[in-house]
Amino acid sequence: MKQIQGSYITGYVTLLVKGNMPELFFQECMNKGVTVWNIKKKNKHACSGNIKLQDIKHLKEIKRGKDYHISFIQKKGFPFLLSRFFRRKEIVIAMAMSILLIFLLSNVIWKVEIKGVPKDIEEKIDKQLKDYGVHPGAWTFTLDKPGEIQRNLTEDVPELLWVGVQKKGTTFFLEGVEKTIVEKKDVEGPRDLVATKKGVIKNMYVSKGLPKVEINDYVEPGDILVSGTLNEVEQNEEEEEEEEENKEKENRIVVASEGEIIANTWYNTEVTVPLKTNYELLTGEHENKYSIGFGDFQIPIWGFGTPDYEAIHREENENQFYFFKWKLPIRFIQTTLSEKTYHDMERSKEEAVQAGIRQAKQELQLKLGPDAEITSEKVLHESVESGKVKLSLHLTVEEDIAKAQPINQGD
């Protein structure tokens, strides 16, 4: 029976064969490999039977040279059902429209939810989001990625410390953390100031505490610069007098020392500077193109032709289409073509050395912070190797080397 299983899905027809000995027609069908079922003899000259839809094309061949009259009396199965459905234009149009509607509504933002921030900041965020185009009723595929919105928001709303932007279906969830000004926590209690780097003391401003070093002293990291213990006792006694020492400790006057110790410190760095460089600059001219992509395939919908720029920098921004929560394999692609120019630069050895020094200074300044001041630089060694200048530099810096260190009171 498996031969006729599933015939409803592929479709089948009921034949009525008229003629002399109609059952022999079905016998012929069988010999040709056409499955026939439900054969009924209607009368002496008429016989009906079912055959599959895909076997109809063999009928003509079987009928050839024989005196039979064949008619289809019934059509059953899915293909016929489908064709009957498509014959009703209204239903097809309505269905297409409803799918289109769902598709369109799936790509619209319905809700923007902001959580975790007070009302006033919420309003500010809301206003900012409207500027980006994020508001209920906006198309999702024209928007930036959540990560980008997140970055822009934290930049544009200074009150925000952090904001999490999440797109869930047609809703934007925003969770913000307000910036609270945290007062700087000082190391409380008595403390010393110790050196963090080796250097020569240049200047000292001690507002509290007992200075232990003088200007032009050389210090190593960990050396006490300013002591918080005011009435310090010489501690060269051995362990035998520990008890006495303890007693002494109790009488100690300790303060939280404060001050700024500016010292000359040194750094050796190496930089390499190429003699030949090239870089790209965007001129500011740009054009936008829009296209819809299916897999690797793209159909442009706006912005045709390529602008006659010297060189083009491409930036693609892709957005997915949705149907309910499912991603469709269709993307909305915005391509920004910006004009760029290439610049080649060739510099002499002198220029390269200058550039190298500048670069090294910048790097060091970045590492030390804005308070440090680079006072002098010296080229220790320079060599030219395969188009590059290699520099060994010695930099002198004036910076604050003091660091607070609590005094262990032993309790």
Q: Which residues bind other proteins (CB under 8 A)?
A: 1, 3-4, 23-24, 26-27, 29-31, 33, 35-41, 44, 47, 49
The CB-of-47 to other proteins minimum distance in angstroms stands at 7
- How far from 222 is each of 194, 195, 366, CA to CA, in Å? 5, 5, 24
Nearer to other proteins, 36 or 153 (CB): 36
Handedness of CA 191, 197, 198, 204 (dihedral sign): negative
**Closest distance between other proteins and the C-beta of residue 23, in Å?**
4
Place of tokens 């930089």: 271
Contact in structure between 228 and 190 (CB atoms under 8 Å): yes
Residue 37 or 290: the one with the smaller Cβ distance to other proteins is 37
User: What is the rounded distance in angstroms from the CA atom of residue 360 to the CA atom of residue 270?
Assistant: 8
Nearer to other proteins, 22 or 199 (CB): 22
Residue closer to other proteins (CB basis): 25 or 322: 25
AA letter at 241: E
Rounded to a whole number of angstroms, the minimum distance from the CB of residue 80 to other proteins is 22
Closer residue to other proteins, CB minimum distance, 27 or 246? 27
Which residue's CB is nearer to other proteins, number 11 or number 293? 11
Classify strands 171-178 and 199-208 as parallel, antiparallel or unpaired. Answer: unpaired
User: In angstroms, rounded to a whole number, what is the distance separating the alpha carbons of residues 400 and 210?
Assistant: 17
What is d(CA 17, CA 23) in angstroms, rounded to the nearest whole number?
A: 8
CB of 13 to other proteins, least distance (A): 16
Shortest gap between Cβ of 53 and other proteins (angstroms)? Answer: 17
* CB closer to other proteins, 24 vs 368: 24
Q: Is 19 exposed, middle or buried (0-12, 13-18, 19+ CB in 10 A)?
A: middle
Shortest reach from residue 75's CB to other proteins, in Å? 20
Cα–Cα distance between 208 and 193 in angstroms, integer? 10
- Please state the closest distance from residue 16 (CB atom) to other proteins, in A: 15
CB 196, CB 403: distance < 8 Å? yes
Q: Judged by CB, which is closer to other proteins: 27, or 348?
A: 27
Tell how strand 191-195 and strand 402-406 pair up.
antiparallel
The CA angle 226-228-231, to the nearest 5 degrees, is 110
Please, what is the minimum distance in Å from the beta carbon of residue 42 to other proteins? Answer: 9
DSSP H stretches of helix in 66-144: 78-87, 89-106, 119-132
